[in-house]
């Protein structure tokens, strides 16, 4: 494998068990001029950027389960990607939290960002510091998927995410948001759509014991790109009859709902979500009912639960203010 493969188009290397060998500069003779797709899974390749300098035809780059021995800095990764003008898809997924960059010796980002004219999708799994570092150095994509490892810190700092989307011309401001709380893990998925386009933004973080707290952190920092959302769907299924943190979750969710000033339609799906939303809206004082989801006119619920009666004071108050909210039950 140290020889050259001048017409090689696709290369897949995966190490499922044991300690993977570290690939050196001699691999493939250091040149892959016609390579279009490269997939590495749990294979450390710290000198990969040197090889990719010759991969001018590369379209798909998958770097999955990157071990600590294969760490590539955000600065080097951005420089490497900037040389691949045909690159359409990039996946950078680390195996563990050791993807955390050295915060003390980081180089400041260059004022000139790498422009990737063909890139349409970027997938990342690691720590937020790495993604933030990388996003300060690149521009242009259509679909962004981020998955963060659980980190022993109460706050996820992601200020680059809304800035990144705002400066990307291919991404329109989203008008539809869906929040999905997974039943089998402590994770939150947020998907955003702009019209009928496939643009989406996904956040996941396993290990947190309060997912609505994570949702609040994300939505607070991303509030500039949520200001045009007019349809909000909240999905929260659970095998248990109710959440053990229901009162706390309701208070946090109310703070989240205050960020969505343009929502006209609110979808509620899942017993736990119905309970938490009902308690959140039911806690709003009548005289302040217009301050939460001020243009809301329809609440759509999958199923019908007695807990919805808790928010009747909110519904009645909006009716008296001349801003009625209709509740519909939908079976789909």
Residuewise pLDDT in 10s, the chain (332 residues): 888 888 999 999 999 887 888 888 888 988 898 999 999 999 988 889 888 888 989 999 999 999 888 888 888 888 888 889 899 999 999 988 766 666 566 666 665 677 788 888 888 888 888 888 888 888 766 677 777 776 555 456 777 777 776 666 555 667 888 888 766 555 677 777 766 554 566 666 655 556 788 788 888 888 877 888 999 999 887 655 455 677 888 898 999 999 999 999 999 988 778 888 988 999 998 989 999 999 999 999 886 555 677 888 999 999 999 999 998 888 75
Q: Is the Cβ–Cβ distance between 292 and 258 less than 8 Å?
A: yes
Q: For residue 90, which phi and psi values (nearest 5 degrees)?
A: -135, 130
d(CA 322, CA 10): 62
| HSE-up of residue 164 (Cα within 13 Å, Cβ side) | 26
Q: Are residues 158 and 221 in the same domain?
A: no
Torsion of CA 96, 99, 103, 104, to 10 degrees: 100
Contact 166, 139 (CB under 8 A): no
- List all residues 6 or more positions away from 18 whose beta carbon is below 8 Å from its beta carbon: none
Q: Residue 282 belongs to a domain with what CATH number?
A: 3.80.10
245 closest CA partner among 203, 208, 282, 218: 208
What domain count does the chain have? 2
Among 127, 153, 171, which residue terminates a domain? Answer: 171
Distance of CA 6 to the CA centre of its chain: 38
Residues 35 and 53 in one domain: yes
Total-model pTM = 0.76
Report strand pairing: 114-115 vs 138-139: parallel
276 and 164 co-located in one domain: no
Containing structural domain, residue 279: 173-332
> Which residue(s) pair with 267 in the sheet?
233, 300
269-289 per-position pLDDT tens digit: 887 788 889 889 999 989 899
- Domain-terminating residue out of 171, 199, 233: 171
Q: Are residues 132 and 203 in the same domain?
A: no
Q: 198 with 224, same domain?
A: yes
119 strand-pairing partners: none
From 156, 171, 186, the end of a domain falls on: 171
| pLDDT tens readout for residues 119-170 | 888 888 888 888 888 888 887 666 777 777 765 554 567 777 777 766 665 5
Q: Both 23 and 149 in a single domain?
A: yes
């Amino acid at each position: 494998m140290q020889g050259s493969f001048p017409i090689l188009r696709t290369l897949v290397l995966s190490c499922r068990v044991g300690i993977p060998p570290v690939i050196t500069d001699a691999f493939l003779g250091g040149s892959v001029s016609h390579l279009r797709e490269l997939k590495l899974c749990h294979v450390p390749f710290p000198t990969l950027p040197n090889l990719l300098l010759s991969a001018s035809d590369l379209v798909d780059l998958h770097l999955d389960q990157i071990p600590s021995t294969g760490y590539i800095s955000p600065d080097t990764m951005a420089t490497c990607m900037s040389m691949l003008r045909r690159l359409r898809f990039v996946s950078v997924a680390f195996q563990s939290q050791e993807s955390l960059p050295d915060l003390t010796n980081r180089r400041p980002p260059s004022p000139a960002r790498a422009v990737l004219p063909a890139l349409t999708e970027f997938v990342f799994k690691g720590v937020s510091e790495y993604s933030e570092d990388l996003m300060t150095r690149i521009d242009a994509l259509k679909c962004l998927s981020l998955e963060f490892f659980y980190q022993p810190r109460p706050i996820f700092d992601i200020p680059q995410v809304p800035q990144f989307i705002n400066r990307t011309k291919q991404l329109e401001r989203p008008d539809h948001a869906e929040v999905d709380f997974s039943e089998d893990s402590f994770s939150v998925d947020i998907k955003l759509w702009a019209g009928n386009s496939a643009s989406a933004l996904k956040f996941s973080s396993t290990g947190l014991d309060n997912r609505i707290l994570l949702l609040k952190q994300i939505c607070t920092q991303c509030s500039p790109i949520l200001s045009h959302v007019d349809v909000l769907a909240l999905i929260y299924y659970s095998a248990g009859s109710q959440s053990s943190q229901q009162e706390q979750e309701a208070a946090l969710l109310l703070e989240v709902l205050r960020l969505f000033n343009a929502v006209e339609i609110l979808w509620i799906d899942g017993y736990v979500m119905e309970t938490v939303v009902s308690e959140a809206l039911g806690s709003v004082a009548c005289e302040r009912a217009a301050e939460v989801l001020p243009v809301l006119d329809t609440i759509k619920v999958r199923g019908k639960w007695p807990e919805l009666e808790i928010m009747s004071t909110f519904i009645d108050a909006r009716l008296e203010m001349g801003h009625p909210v209709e509740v519909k039950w939908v079976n789909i």
